[in-house]
Every structure is written in structure tokens, then in C-alpha cells.
Structure 1
């Protein structure tokens, strides 16, 4: 079978105007970026806000292996499957980050015959949204240090600067730095550091903002540090928000592309779910809901991270009410959760698979806690056996009371998800969804985090040092107790230990740090050893990416 990039390259794409017509988007609402990509100005769509919303379907997953379990591929395949059975559908996805593209995973636009295209542009610079977010964030950082240099009227305490710089690349060498070295003309030296762009609060704000005015107001609430009197200092006080909004103005319009089968797809925004809230932009999701009867979206990594944040942060903030959830599972990941070695995942092992099903069971139970009906999609791999598939289906049917559907979209495109599409449509139309977040706004921050730890992770509670405990009290006293919590932890386990597979219970979640994201509207709890600036692996994907003699990109999947 050809590689992902060969399949994408061989595709005959429709002009983006034709894709827009399929989605009911008039040409005057398009700002084209070449022939196959356009930004969409929803204000130019007649009667846009008055339209009813379609059905919202979330695609999430079990805890993944390092290679991922095909959640984006399944999202694309399900969208194509719904289109094949006659449904009016739009897909809503995040944009890939250059960090993982050149690091572990290569591309992130789906795979096989379930891809969004043009794949190469989407995986690389696309429409420049991430560059704009990086620039807006670093403009704020530059204005902060410039303010200190020119007299520090706000009396910022250089020992209590909260804002770190960002870049869209994995670079562990920049996690902790010292800035402003080189003499008086370069400012006042201080400890600094970098996060990856997708962990930036500007990225989170970008993805949660309702419109340009809301974006600017949220940017102004970013707390950049504290004064010597221990008072918060904001981006608005630095007078940075107008210029930041200018940099983000065009980027805020969602990007329209297509699948290999011509299904419209919005690809917009890209926070990671292990260190941020892990969902595409509210603007793109709302646009899709106004344009389609069915919207298929995803939330990053396993349901313990992506789905929980989708429900407790994105849906809470944007007033969204999901109608169904698809939990993607693979035989190989379940076997790894059951104790099988990575090298043996291609061999039939019903014992390890049986043990690993506890991971799937907890995710199904967790989704139900939000009042959203789930269904399981088994993403087929050629190494899977019939007996392994039947074991999963039987377990889901007899022990969990959910259906599990074998999906072959990677090899067959939308034809490989027709059964799933029919069942998802029935589930979404069944009226069984009764969505509610896991905890109320008025619950104290520490109790919110403990609720997530107990109810979603199966933990006995939290492990807090005195500094973190004091920080909880400080945030409550400052009036931030009503905010939801955004947990940053490993994606590979329900615990904060990436080696603890399956469905561990009774563990403690170690909380290392609390970061206020006042503009985004949540508090980030950094747990375990998770890093907000990832590093490259021993053999990064970048080593294999190149341009061949014909000028074509190779190695990007």
C-alpha cells in the first residue's frame, strides 16, 4: 500500500470554492490561500447566526501508545462515512504543530485514505496561524522587558514574571534560560524560558474566543507577572493588546480545506491536550454547527485529557452540547495496557487484550459521567486477529453496554466507516444526551482538581506540597475560584506516571505547579514530570524529511 504522503499527492482535489459550495459558504465569504485552502469570514454568510445548530459528535480515545491510535484518522473517516450515507457533514480539527511533525509523529492530518488535504501545506506553514500566535505572544514578552528597561512604571518584580516566550518547535535547551545578558543596553538580566507555542495562553485564548472583540478582551486579562507589592500585572496594563489583536486578526478566521473524498473540514487552532485544553477553535466549531447537520470534532490524546477538557472547559465556556462521543481503541494499545511488550504487539495475545480492556472500560464510564452517549470505534490494523476483534466487541456489548464497530477507514476511506456512521447518527438523533460538566463553577479550585483526579483518573486524591497548597489559596483569594481546571499530565496513563498502564486506582496525582490563565479562563495544574516545552527524540522525524530531485517533500509520513 502507498504511504500517506503518496496517497495525498495522488489525490485530485476540488477547488476550495467547490468545497465551500458543498458547505453552503458563499464565495464572498472566502479569503483564498491558493487553490485548495481558504479562510472563511462567517460575517459574510447570510443569516449565519440565525441558523440552528447541527449535531455535535466528539471523537476521543483510550490512552494512546507513543505512535497514537488514529484519532484524527478516525475523525476524518467518520466524516467521510457520514457523507457517504447522505448526511450533511463538516469536520472540525486542530492544526498540526511543527514540533511533533519534525519530532515523533511526522504529519498530523490523518492517514491512509482518511486524510485532510493538501496534507503537506496543512502540516507545515498552512495559513500562518501558528506564526501569528507565536508573534503575538512574543510581542507581549518583548513589551514586558521593554517596560522594565524604560523605568518600570508598573514596578514589575523581575523575580515574579509569569510570562515565558514561545516557539513552535520542540527545543529542550530553551526550557530554562537567562535573558538580557550582554550589558546595560540589553536590559536587566533575569531567569526566563520557552514553552512550545501550543502551550501558550495566547493559543488557548485564540481557540476559546467568540470573536475579535472577545479575543482582545481576553488578551488584556493575561497576567504577565506581579509587582513588588505582589499585585498582578496584565497585558492590558502594558498596553499590548491592540497590537496583539492586529497580529491575530486574519488568523482568527477558520481555515477551510477538504478530505480526500471532498468532505468540508475546518482546521483551526491547535493546543495540545497534555499541556493545554486540546481542542480546535470555538469559532470553527460554531461555524461548522451552523453549516452542517453533523459536525465531527476531536479532542487530543485519551479521553482522560482531551474529552474531559472538551467537556469541562470548551463546552462550558462556549455553551456547546455534544450529542455523542466516539472512543477510538486499537488492539495493539489495549494489549500494551494489558502488559504486552511493544515488540510483541503484532502477535495475537488474548490474555493481554483482556487485561487491557480495563482501560477502555474506564473511558466509557467516564464519558457517561458527562451525560454523553458513547460508542467504541476499533481502528483496524492488519496485525489484528478476528478473535481479538470479537473479544473487544463481546466485552463492550456484555460488560459495558455499548457497541463496538470495526473501522477500516485507513485502507478504505469512508467506505470503511459506513457502519460506524449509521450507528453514530442513530446515537446522536436518539435524544439520550443530557450533557453536564463534571463539576459546578462555584466549587473551590482544589475540589475541582480533586474531582477530576478521583472521578476521571481513579486516583485516591492529590499530592500537594506547601507551595502548591498556598497557591490554591492565593488564587481563590484573588477571585479566580470560579474557573475550571486544566490538567497538564502525561497522556500515556490515567496517572501522572507514563509507565503505569491499564486502569490504575488508588494512586495520588502529584501537582507540581499551578499557572493562572486568566485570559483563557482556566487554571493549569502541572502534574508529574510533564513539560510545557517538549524535547526531540533520539531519532527525530526531521532526519527523514527532505525534498527529492523532483522537488517533492519526502518523509512527512
Structure 2
């Protein structure tokens, strides 16, 4: 039996090229790359400005079915498709998010792809990389420190400490920090109050970094952050505390997209990283729009299933950045279809056609949803070695019956050679001119109606439910001029409902909105549904227990 190498072993044995050579392939002169060592670099703001007004390539979105413990391989497929397009002679760039340390040391693992479809250097990308996340953490917590400092020195802005909404963040899963009491220990430490931590990828600063178009836009958006309210309930902004300019200074380098390469030495932009279940789940607008000026095809992904990542990609990122995707790929696996059909993880190795047929309802729902946005769809069946011919044929037949094609992809094991067919299909879809993209709802719709539109049309729920206090808060924001903002749904990624154990394609459930938050700088309203947490916890046996340095000082255990 052939020995299957781990992701990190495959990445470590790759024949990397100098990052300046990767940049040259897409027309970036060396003087506009700031190298971070041999194999990664930041692209200068000056170069990005010089490309404004040029012709755009075609934007391809990779999304997926609702995630399961069986794994779907969305990032792996995104990277593989980018390599596949380059293999068939197209100029393509991959645009994906950076990895958060929380899931990397928790359960999910990193965000660099897998097998022979990875971006490298895998260890750096999954750990500190170029320090972007640390910069976001620092900028966010600088604002938090300035808030408490302002209160300590007399509270000139008359800030009601009971209504401070700005929490702190860290890029780690730590449930103990969800709710805390701060400034304890006496007069010298300030005024005690209740607060808490979110994970960095849930920070509004992260969302702002990924939606800002340049440093000027970044600074303006940072100034628009609402940190809390006065005793008369009027908002206090970051600019009122004179924090926005210093925050922008900390984020100056983080605003520049990161250039790396795939295992096949094709260019990849890895930049930004808001989660898709508690934020908008897309890489940065700057990275995507820059890549579109440099390539014929840009392959990007949106986090988790299409009900979360793709909906937010379309309704938030594309709406705000003026992007028009040409085609979408929905990643599915035979294993995931079995789990959505009711099969336990330990039984996935056995053929089960009936379960696949039942589980395909989830795939069908996502196909229908993406089409609602006017974007043509193809399904990528990410191949696992235990998949049987009959199981693969069952998925293909289901997809065909719903007017779409499903293509078996073996990029994990074969790299670009295993995904050529999908690459040709994507080109055909993108060049067909059939895309008629439009967001799900109009800007003018009321905020609660936007929430209910998503619940009914994307989740297939009976209704959105919210307490009177939530509805009143939305009404007040509308009166304050925020009614035209899109909504960002924060809910479990595992189900169309708010119950993570309700797999498949449930209908007529009620989606309860328990809290709403205004991200005025980012430019959206966050609707927190069900039991979703903005600071995850570690599992009973976290990946951190198995990540280590070997005798040669080399990292082992990352995936």
C-alpha cells in the first residue's frame, strides 16, 4: 500500500520559487513587492493604485454544502481550481482568506488547502504569516484601551459605562473570556464594568480591513465605529476618542495583500479572514479587485456553506465593492451527502445509496439558493478514495435532474491534473454570459425585512422571530440613517436552521434573532441567531495537543 503523505509533508517537499518570480508572472515589478523572506510578500499600495481603471477578469466563487465532520474541502477545491485553470492555459489567481489560530489549534485545522492542492508556505500561512491578524488584534484592543482610559480621566464624552459595546479580542478559542469583569483591583485600575472578548476574526476591525478600498477609506471606516452610547443614548464613535488615526497606523501594512504561491507555483493572494458564521466570511476587497486587474480568472471562496458564505459574499461584499461574479462552484462530497442523509461518521466507509439520495436535498437547496442571485452553478464532487462508482453516479444523477452538471474532481491526490474537467466547465460558464447577478434584497428594504428575506428565501424558514427590544433597536438604527445597510447573519454553519444537529434541508423552522449589533464602520448590521458564539471554545481534545516541534525543530501536526 502506498504511503499517503500528510498535508504538511507535501507542503514541505514542494519546489518553491522565489516570491519575486511569482509576482513577475502576473506583472508585479520587484520594487512593488515587500518580501517577507523567500516565499511571501506584500503588494504595494502604489502598484494597486496604478491598476485602477483597467479591465477586470472573470470572478469565480467557490462555495459548498453545509459543512459536516466528514469534511468538504472547499479551500482545497479553490486552490485546485486555480491550478487547473492555469494548467489549461488560462491566467488565474487564487484569492483566499488567512487562517485564524483559533480553529488551527482547535478542531477545524488551517486554511491552506490540502493534499496536492495547497498554498505555501503552509506553516507560515496557518500560524503568524505576515502578522496581519496580530495587527487587527492590536488595533482593536488599542481602541478598547482608549475607551477605558477616557473614562478613567474624567469621561468628557459622558459615556455610559453600562452601554459600552466595544469588547476586546484575541485570535484564540477561549470560552473563559466570553464574559469578564474588568478594571478590578482598586481606584488606580479604573472603573469596574462587565465586558468580554470575541475572537479576532469576529472583530469589526477585521471586517473593515476586508471591505476598505484603500488607507483613506480604512481610516474613515475606523472612525465610524460605534463604541458605545452616552447617558442620553446618542452614539460615541472611535473618532470621538481620536483613536481612528492611530488604529490606521497599526493597520497600514496589514492593508496590503499578501502574495504567495500554490504547490504548482501559481500566484495566490491570501488576505484577511472574517469568519463566515459570525462575520461576512470573505477575503479582502483589495485583494480580489487587484487580482481581477491582473488575471483572466480569479478564484475566490466564501466560508462554510452557501447559506452563510455565499449569501454574504453576494449581499455584502459584491454589493459594497461592485463585484459581479461570472460563475459559482458548489463543493460537495459523497461523505457529506451520507451525513446529511443521517449516516454517522463511523459508518461513512460503507456504501449507502439511500442516504446519499436523502442527503442530496442539502446540495439541491444550495444550488437553488445560488441561482437566486443570477449566478450559473456547477457542482464539484471532491473525491475520497472510499467513494464507490454507484455513490458518485447517484450524486451526478441528482445534480443533472436539477439542471446542473456535477464533475468528479481528484485534485487532492493529483493536483491540477485531477481538476481539468472542472476548469474547462468553469471557463465555459464564465464565458457564456449567462450570469445576471443581483443581490437578494434591495437597500431600501427595512432591516427586519432583510433578515426575514434571508430566513425565508435562503434558510427556508417559516419566519424570523425577535423580541420587541431587538425590533426597536433596528427601528432606532433606521431612524439614525443606517436602514440601507445589508445584514450579516450570525448563526450555526451546520444547518439551514439554528439547530446545528438538524442536517439536510429543513423547512418551516423559526429563526430566532436574540441580539443585533451595528457595525457602522464595516457597513452592516449583525443579527445573532440561536446559540452562536462570537468567542468559540476549544474541544475536549484540541489539535493543539498534537502540534509540536520534532527533533530537528520542524513543526509537526499542522493540517
TM-score above 0.5: yes
Residue of structure 2 equivalent to 1:384: 387
Contact 2:450 2:486 in 1 (8 A): yes
**How many residues get paired?**
556
Q: Give 1:490-501 correspondences, 5 Å limit.
A: 490-501=492-503
Give the one of 309, 314, 330 matched to 1:311: 314
Residue of structure 2 equivalent to 1:6: 9
Bigger mean CA offset, 468-477 vs 12-21: 468-477
Q: How far is 1:472 from its partner?
A: 1.8
Contact 2:168 2:198 in 1 (8 A): yes
Q: How far is 1:383 from its partner?
A: 1.2
**In the alignment, structure 1 residue 152 sits paired with structure 2 residue 155:** yes
Q: How far is 1:533 from its partner?
A: 0.1
Find the aligned partners of 1:111 and 1:219 in 2 and give their Cα distance: 35
Bigger mean CA offset, 347-356 vs 102-111: 102-111
Contact 1:254 1:266 in 2 (8 A): yes
Find the aligned partners of 1:39 and 1:46 in 2 and give their Cα distance: 14
Contact 1:42 1:48 in 2 (8 A): no
Give the one of 274, 278, 283 matched to 1:280: 283
Indicate how the Cα distance of structure 1 residues 488 and 185 shifts in structure 2: closer, same or farther if over 3 A, else same.
same
Residue of structure 2 equivalent to 1:508: 510
Residue of structure 1 equivalent to 2:28: 25
Unaligned stretches of 5+ residues in structure 2: none
Contact 1:26 1:45 in 2 (8 A): no
Residue of structure 1 equivalent to 2:481: 479
Find the aligned partners of 2:233 and 2:471 in 1 and give their Cα distance: 18
Residue 448 of structure 1 aligns to a residue in which SS?
helix
Residue of structure 2 equivalent to 1:176: 179
Give the one of 438, 446, 460 matched to 2:462: 460
Find the aligned partners of 2:418 and 2:57 in 1 and give their Cα distance: 24
Find the aligned partners of 2:322 and 2:233 in 1 and give their Cα distance: 35
Residue of structure 1 equivalent to 2:347: 344
Find the aligned partners of 1:5 and 1:384 in 2 and give their Cα distance: 24
**In the alignment, structure 1 residue 414 sits paired with structure 2 residue 447:** no
Post-superposition CA distance 1:249-304 (Å, at most 9, x none): 01100000000001100000000000000000000001100000000000000000
Q: How far is 1:474 from its partner?
A: 1.7
Find the aligned partners of 2:53 and 2:64 in 1 and give their Cα distance: 33
Residue of structure 1 equivalent to 2:546: 544
Q: How far is 1:42 from its partner?
A: 4.3
Post-superposition CA distance 1:347-391 (Å, at most 9, x none): 110001000111001100000000000000000011111101101
Residue of structure 2 equivalent to 1:95: 98
TM-score (norm. length: structure 1): 0.99
Post-superposition CA distance 1:298-345 (Å, at most 9, x none): 000000000000000000000000000000001111111111112111
**In the alignment, structure 1 residue 135 sits paired with structure 2 residue 138:** yes
Contact 1:28 1:44 in 2 (8 A): no
Residue of structure 2 equivalent to 1:451: 453
Post-superposition CA distance 1:486-510 (Å, at most 9, x none): 0000000000100111000000101
Indicate how the Cα distance of structure 1 residues 46 and 274 shifts in structure 2: closer, same or farther if over 3 A, else same.
closer
Q: How far is 1:45 from its partner?
A: 6.0
**In the alignment, structure 1 residue 433 sits paired with structure 2 residue 453:** no
Residue of structure 2 equivalent to 1:37: 40
Contact 1:106 1:555 in 2 (8 A): no
Find the aligned partners of 2:305 and 2:47 in 1 and give their Cα distance: 37
Contact 1:114 1:413 in 2 (8 A): yes
TM-score (norm. length: structure 2): 0.99
Residue 479 of structure 1 aligns to a residue in which SS?
helix
Q: How far is 1:50 from its partner?
A: 2.9
Residue 475 of structure 1 aligns to a residue in which SS?
helix
Find the aligned partners of 2:520 and 2:52 in 1 and give their Cα distance: 28
**In the alignment, structure 1 residue 54 sits paired with structure 2 residue 57:** yes
Detail structure 1 runs of 4+ shifted over 6 Å in the superposition: none
Q: Give 1:59-78 correspondences, 5 Å limit.
A: 59-66=62-69, 68-78=71-81
